[in-house]
Amino acid sequence: MASIEQVSTEDRLYRMRHSAAHIMAEAVLEIFPGAKFAIGPPIDYGFYYDFELPRPLTPDDLGAIEQRMRRTIGADLAFAHEEIAKDEARAMFSDQPYKLELIDGIEDASVSLYKHAAFTDLCEGPHVERTGQVGAFKLTSIAGAYWRGDEHRPMLQRIYGALFATPQELEEHLARVEEAAKRDHRRLGRELDLFSFHEEFGPGLVYWHPKGGRLRTVIEDFWRQEHYRANYGIVYSPHIGKGTLWSTSGHLDFYGENMYSPMDVDGQDYYVKPMNCPFHIQMFKSMTRSYRDLPIRMAELGTVYRYERSGVLHGLLRVRGFTQDDAHIFCTPDQVQEEIGRALDFMFFFLGAFGFENYKVYLATAPDKYAGSREDWDMAEEVLRRCVEERNIPYEIDEGGAVFYGPKIDVKLLDVLGREWQCTTVQFDFNLPERFDIAYVGEDGKEHRPYMVHRALFGSIERFVGVLIEHYAGAFPLWLAPVQAVIIPIADRHIDYARRIVDDFRAEDLRVEIDDRGERMQAKIRDAQLQKVPYMLIVGDREQEAEAVSVRRRDGSDLGALPLFQLIDQLKDEVATRS
């Protein structure tokens, strides 16, 4: 067995984490005699173990288990490996039903075990040599987990631990987790009154509240304005379509499990759309297209519905109904490079406007089976490659990672915590133009098949807003903030003046609210800060007399008194520059 110093860091951490899982199981079995233990693998930041216990665990239990673990670690006991016959293993784990089931699944005649102290586990290893070598850890949480992930099997209690080589790395990890929890868009969505979910009336369906709706409107208005500037046509397509549309497009065959059951309309099956593409193709086909008409860029904020298993739904990030910022570009072979380049530049401009500067770009190439010809794919992959290389964008090749209908570029943006979020896709399609037999008349007077590119910048508005909330921790820049300023009158006699200010601001399209509750000024300032409103405008006698307001920022800084007209100009400027 390799000594602990000789193995790579990754392997070393794997051994440490896996060994800690054993030590935790030892501790739990000692504290809860008769406990049944199931599986305990290492994971990317630590480890877990699943148990069947006589009662639900509480956070206090974690402390006791941790303490017991530290005793084993302090004793620096050896891990010993052993191979025994299956029958012997069955006898050894006779009161452990989960282990017995695991033993039954082992094909070899013998069973591999690891032991430390009086604790023995079924295990292939590898482990550290001694319990003193497991590194810095902390038990972090308790969760329910079905045995073998099967909802028809018993629900076990899972204990998670974080483990790193050094206490400093552990601290950094825990701080990151805490920061991520503070930024959790589900929590902020509730606290900032942006949106809600109502599981009882359908999970994965978003209810946008007025403030979330305001944020969304700002994003969509910006999206529309910039699409018109970039010479896209904005379209609207139906939410349902007849079965024949979806069988021609191939969605019923290849995407059926993500589509909802049909509804009967006049004896025909109609389906709620999971994608907008077939509708845009019909618009393309609605008249004869000449090469002079191309490229045609059609964009839609198209709301689609897709079935996702309830277990994978996650806030705004994974939902069952969402609005894609979809676009389809129909062009000639000569135009395709230019169009892909434009789409990429457009994307970088867009994401930059929302404060994202760092990306990871992936170019996904042909899988084993694909639609279209090898030449089409070679050309398309080459175009994608050239477009990213011309822009000096570092990228990785995702070999064979494309879906069957065409190669694509996937862009994952990195937020302030360095987390990756899949948003943008630019995707060739050699399938739908064929299936719907679309064509344009070329310079030679003959019919040719146009290239079709699908493109989404945000991916979906829901997902993008979720990412945006986490990126900014809910403290949106002024141009996005649902409420840009709260006006706080010091006394009731200032309310009329405050109301007039509200009118002045609204006339300039600035989003302000007045806080005329009977609370103390400090409490109102604190509440506005908690709501992450960028500006607090305080008005009292002096301000009223001078046609001014006293300005505070949400970070606590005090800008002093400013004349009203000056502040309005300043805020309008801040909105316009999206700073």
User: Catalytic positions, please?
Assistant: 277, 306, 324, 326, 328, 408, 454
Q: How far is the CB of 554 from Zn ion (least distance, A)?
A: 40
Q: How far is the CB of 21 from Zn ion (least distance, A)?
A: 7
Q: Do 294 and 440 contact (CB within 8 A), yes or no?
A: yes
Q: Which is nearer to Zn ion, 174 or 403 (CB)?
A: 403
Q: How far is the CB of 275 from Zn ion (least distance, A)?
A: 6
454 touches Zn ion (CB under 5 A): yes
Task: Write the CB contacts of 335 (distance below 8 Å, at least 6 apart in sequence).
Answer: 294, 295, 451
Q: Which is nearer to Zn ion, 159 or 277 (CB)?
A: 277
DSSP assigned state of 4: G
Q: How far is the CB of 291 from Zn ion (least distance, A)?
A: 22
Radius of gyration of the chain (CA): 30
Coil, strand, or helix at residue 323? strand
Determine which residue in the list 139, 163, 277, 568 makes contact with Zn ion, applying CB under 5 A: 277
99 touches Zn ion (CB under 5 A): no
State how far the Cα of 291 lies from the Cα of 433, in Å rounded to an integer. 16
State how far the Cα of 471 lies from the Cα of 353, in Å rounded to an integer. 13
Across the strands, what pairs with 51?
37, 157
Tokens of 525: 């300032």
Q: Name residue, tokens 């800060």.
A: 529
Q: Which is nearer to Zn ion, 359 or 405 (CB)?
A: 405
113 touches Zn ion (CB under 5 A): no
298 touches Zn ion (CB under 5 A): no
Q: How far is the CB of 196 from Zn ion (least distance, A)?
A: 30
506: left (phi over 0), alpha (psi -120 to 50) or beta: alpha
Q: Which is nearer to Zn ion, 139 or 468 (CB)?
A: 139
Query: Using CB under 5 A, which of the segments 85-93, 122-130, 478-486, 558-566 binds Zn ion?
Result: 122-130
Q: Which is nearer to Zn ion, 123 or 562 (CB)?
A: 123
Q: Which is nearer to Zn ion, 323 or 550 (CB)?
A: 323
Q: Which helix (H) or strand (E) holds 120?
A: strand 119-122
The residue count for binding Zn ion (CB under 5 A) is 4
Q: How far is the CB of 35 from Zn ion (least distance, A)?
A: 17
Cβ-closest residue to Zn ion?
123
How many CB atoms lie under 10 A from the CB of residue 202?
10
123 touches Zn ion (CB under 5 A): yes
Q: Which is nearer to Zn ion, 122 or 317 (CB)?
A: 122
State how far the Cα of 560 lies from the Cα of 569, in Å rounded to an integer. 16
From 489, 508, 501, select the one nearest 571 (Cα to Cα). 508
Coil, strand, or helix at residue 402? coil
Task: Write the CB contacts of 369 (distance below 8 Å, at least 6 apart in sequence).
Answer: 404
How many CB atoms lie under 10 A from the CB of residue 106?
14
State how far the Cα of 37 lies from the Cα of 157, in Å rounded to an integer. 10
Q: How far is the CB of 428 from Zn ion (least distance, A)?
A: 11
Binding residues vs Zn ion (CB under 5 A) = 114, 123, 277, 454
